[in-house]
Amino acid sequence: MLKLVVLTGAGVSAESGISTFRDKGGLWEGHDIMEVASPVGWNKNPALVLDFYNQRRRQLATVEPNEAHFAIAKLQEKYNVTVVTQNVDNLHERAGSKKIIHLHGMLTKAKSTVPPYKSIEIGYKDINIGDVCENNGQMRPDIVWFGEAVPEIINASSIASTADVFLVVGTSLVVYPAAGLLDYVPAGRPIYVIDPVKPQSGYYYNNITYIEEKATTGMKKILDLLNC
């Protein structure tokens, strides 16, 4: 079975109603990014950070996977699929995808702020000041913030280097280190990029096919192209 690696970004979940901070009117509008998504912001005002992610978690509980999520899961019928996502929601899981690497963490998890930094599933529950682990460490969102390492990028790079087909859905290919995964795809292997606006990423290899569509309509074309 051929290996298909799918890199997804905010454009996949946007059609489910999850706003993105990079869009005009997006969820992060009104917040300086560093206030709600950095260790500095956490140390300055943890209550603000917890409230911000509690709101996102509550919203996640109200939305459903869309046709793009289900189409990506359908690829598993003919391919050995690994999804590498920049998204922190659980919509790929809920749509049926089995092998998923979350580069930036997950909203439905919390982790301790003291060693060994244990991560736990919390579902859609709030995290509050005073919620501590067994070592009395305050719990925080299990999200990779700006300025923090992206430990899963090593695993994702290894997976990308084995791809027979590489698919990019709903990402601008300007956010690193995720965008750099294309550099690990073996030479000559087909790459498909789905986004309404052709990414200005500097990737101009002959083996890239651009599909300038939103995720749901673009994935319909991919299912046809890949005979799924």
Active site residues per annotation: 104
Distance between CA 30 and CA 165 in Å, rounded? Answer: 39
Distance between CA 16 and CA 59 in Å, rounded? Answer: 11
Question: Would strands 105-112 and 139-143 be described as parallel, antiparallel, or unpaired?
Answer: antiparallel
Q: Give Cα separations from 40 to 33, 36, 76, 189 (angstroms).
A: 11, 9, 41, 41
Hey, what amino acid is at 215?
A: A
Q: Apex CA 86: angle with CA 80 and CA 87, to 5°?
A: 100
Q: Which residues contact 182 (CB under 8 A, 6 or more apart)?
A: 160, 166, 168, 173, 191, 203
209: exposed, middle or buried (C-beta count within 10 Å: 0-12, 13-18, 19+)? middle
Distance between CA 119 and CA 185 in Å, rounded? Answer: 31
